């Protein structure tokens, strides 16, 4: 996977381009689960390709449990040269913060029920080959034609906009909250919502 130039963490948050401008190097990577049933009902082929998982490895897990298992380990982050001086305990706290923020964002969307709002979180995941990347998790609620209310969680590699350093350094600080406020506004712009749904919903309808 080729990534364009990374925005370094020293760049002011306000100068970052809106998240919906990112190019997706992991197209159609998403999970679908019924709102009232925690276990997923569909895993896209793109998801399995990116994370190197088989259907049997995903089966029986809830969406959040599956996403939590994809988060990069603190030990792997510690082994990266730019983080060698950070305490392992500090890295673990930051990764836990990112996971909890993502879980809260999805839970709030699920409770809201059918609406046009899109939830967003930035976390750190590992690809099948071991590469660490900045992952944008967007979540929205979708009414399937069968009248089943579903939660769709989409994963995109946005390392071309946010470096791993940027996300880890911001985690657990006011900078992360401020960044997410800006990103939430960006992904909830009508143009962004329409683009997101046009990328994912046709695949959901074709496979479910």
| pLDDT tens-place string over residues 152-191 | 899 999 999 999 999 999 999 999 999 999 999 999 988 8
Q: How confident is the model at residue 10 (pLDDT cuts 50, 70, 90)?
A: very low
The percent of residues above 90 in pLDDT, for the chain, comes to 34
pLDDT surpasses 80 at 85: yes
Delimit the domains of the chain by residue range.
22-207
- The pTM (predicted TM-score) of the whole model is 0.80
Mean pLDDT of the chain: 80
The pLDDT, as a whole number, for residue 15 is 32
> What backbone torsions phi and psi does residue 121 show, to the nearest 5 degrees?
-150, 150
Distance of CA 41 to the CA centre of its chain: 18
C-alpha 187/C-alpha 7 separation (Å) is: 19
Q: Which CATH architecture best describes the domain 22-207?
A: 2-Layer Sandwich (3.30)
């Amino acid at each position: 996977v080729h990534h364009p130039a990374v925005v370094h963490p020293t760049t002011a948050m306000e100068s970052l381009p809106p998240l919906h401008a990112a190019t997706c190097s992991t197209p159609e990577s998403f999970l679908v689960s019924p709102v009232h049933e925690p276990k997923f009902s569909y895993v896209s082929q793109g998801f399995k390709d990116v994370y190197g998982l088989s259907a049997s490895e995903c089966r029986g897990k809830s969406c959040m449990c599956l996403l939590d298992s994809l988060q990069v380990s603190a030990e792997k982050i510690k082994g990266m040269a730019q983080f060698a001086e950070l305490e392992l305990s500090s890295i673990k706290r930051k990764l836990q913060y990112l996971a909890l923020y993502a879980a809260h964002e999805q839970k709030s969307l699920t409770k809201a029920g059918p609406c046009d709002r899109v939830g967003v979180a930035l976390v750190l995941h590992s690809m099948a080959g071991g590469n660490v990347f900045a992952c944008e998790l967007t979540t929205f609620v979708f009414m399937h034609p069968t009248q089943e209310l579903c939660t769709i969680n989409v994963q995109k590699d946005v390392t071309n906009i946010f470096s791993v350093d940027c996300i880890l350094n911001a985690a657990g600080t006011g900078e992360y909250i401020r960044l997410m406020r800006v990103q939430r506004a960006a992904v909830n712009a009508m143009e962004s919502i329409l683009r997101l749904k046009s990328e994912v919903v046709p695949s959901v309808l074709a496979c479910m």
